Amino acid sequence: MTDGRPVVTLFYCVNALSRQTAQDLENAAEFEIRPVHMACSSMVKDVLLLKGFEAGADLVVVATCPPGQCQFIDGNSRARKRVERVRRLMDEAGLEGRRLIIIDRGLELEYAGILKEFESALE
Amino acid sequence: MIVAEQKKISEIIEMVSPYRKVLVLGCGTCVKTCFAGGEDEVAVLASLLRLAFEKQGNSKEISEFTIERQCEDEFIQEAAEAIGRNEAVLSLACGAGVQDIARRFKNVPVLPGVNTTFVGVMEDRGLFTEECLCCGDCRLGQYGAVCVLTRCAKKLSNGPCGGSRNGKCEVNPETDCAWQLVIDRMRELGQLDSLREYIPPRDWRTSNAGGPRKLFREDMVA
Q: Count Cα atoms within 13 angstroms, Cβ side, for B140.
A: 12
Please give the C-alpha separations between residue B173 and each of B153, B156, B163, in angstroms, as whole numbers.
11, 17, 11
Domain count for chain B: 2
Same domain, B111 and B144: no
- On chain B, the residues whose CB falls within 8 A of the CB of A53 are 47, 51
Q: Do A46 and B9 touch (CB under 8 A)?
A: no
**What is the per-residue pLDDT across A27-80, written as a single tens digit (0 to 9) for each?**
888 999 999 999 999 999 999 999 999 999 999 999 999 999 999 999 999 999
Say if the Cβ atoms of A46 and B44 lie within 8 Å.
yes
Distance, in Å, from the CA atom of A31 to the CA atom of A57, rounded to the nearest integer, reads 11
B9 and B110 housed in the same domain: yes
Q: Are A96 and A89 in contact (CB under 8 A)?
A: no
Q: Is residue B105 part of a domain?
A: yes
Q: Is residue B127 part of a domain?
A: no
Could you say which of B55, B83, B118 is where a domain stops? B118
Identify the CA nearest to B181 among candidates B112, B218, B129: B129
Residue A66 has a pLDDT of 94
Q: pLDDT class for A22, splitting at 50, 70, 90? A: confident
Q: Considering the domain delimited by A7-122, tell me its CATH architecture.
A: 3-Layer(aba) Sandwich (3.40)
Predicted confidence pLDDT, tens digits, chain B (222 residues)? 999 999 999 999 999 999 999 999 999 999 999 999 999 999 999 999 999 999 999 889 999 999 999 999 999 999 999 999 999 999 999 999 999 999 999 999 999 999 999 999 999 999 999 999 999 999 999 999 999 999 999 999 999 999 999 999 999 999 999 999 999 999 999 999 999 999 999 899 999 988 999 999 999 998
Whether residues B82 and B106 share a domain: the answer is yes
Phi-psi region of B35 (alpha: psi -120 to 50; beta: other; left: phi over 0): left
Identify the closest residue of chain A to B49 by CA–CA distance: A93
Q: pLDDT category, A7, cuts 50, 70, 90?
A: very high
B60 close to A (CB below 8 A): no
Average confidence score pLDDT of chain A: 92
Residue A14 DSSP symbol: T
- The confidence score (pLDDT) of residue A108 equals 78
Going edge to edge, which strands form the sheet with B127-132? B2-6, B114-124, B127-132
Residue B55: CATH number of its domain: 3.40.50.2300
Cβ–Cβ gap A90/B48 under 8 Å: yes
Q: Are the Cβ atoms of B52 and A50 closer than 8 angstroms?
A: no
The residue among B86, B118, B150 that closes a domain is B118
Does the residue B125 lie in any domain? no
C-beta atoms of B48 and A54 within 8 A: no
Give the three-state DSSP class for B69: coil
Residue B157: inside a domain = yes
Whether B27 and B60 map to the same domain: the answer is yes
Query: How far off is chain B from A116, nearest CA to CA, in Å?
Result: 26
Domain extents in chain A:
7-122
Residues of A in contact with B6 (CB under 8 A): none
Kindly list the distances between the CA atom of residue A121 and the CA atoms of A24, A102, A110, B48, in Å, as whole numbers in the listed order. Answer: 20, 10, 17, 20
Q: In the predicted model, is pLDDT for residue A1 greater than 70?
A: no
Residues B183, B151, single domain; the answer is: yes
In percent, how much of chain A has pLDDT > 70?
98
Cα angle vertex B104, ends B99, B108, to 5°? Answer: 80
Q: Which residues of A touch B51 (CB under 8 A)?
A: 50, 53-54, 90, 93, 95
Residues B92 and B152 in one domain: no
Q: Do A47 and B8 touch (CB under 8 A)?
A: no
Facing A50 at nearest CB: one of B8, B13, B47: B47
Say what the pLDDT of residue B31 is.
97
Structural domain for B82, as ranges: 2-118
Q: Chain B contacts of A90, Cβ < 8 Å?
A: 48, 51
Beta carbons of A50 and B40 less than 8 Å apart: no
C-alpha distance from A91 to closest chain B C-alpha (Å): 10
Q: What is the ipTM of this complex?
A: 0.92
Last residue of a domain, one of B61, B95, B118: B118
- B145 and B110 in a single domain? The answer is no
Sign of the torsion angle spanned by Cα atoms B114, B120, B124, B127 = negative
Q: Are residues B110 and B148 in the same domain?
A: no
CB contact under 8 A, A47 and B43: yes
Q: E strand or H helix at B3, and its extent?
A: strand B2-6
CB contact under 8 A, B8 and A92: yes
pLDDT at B59: 85
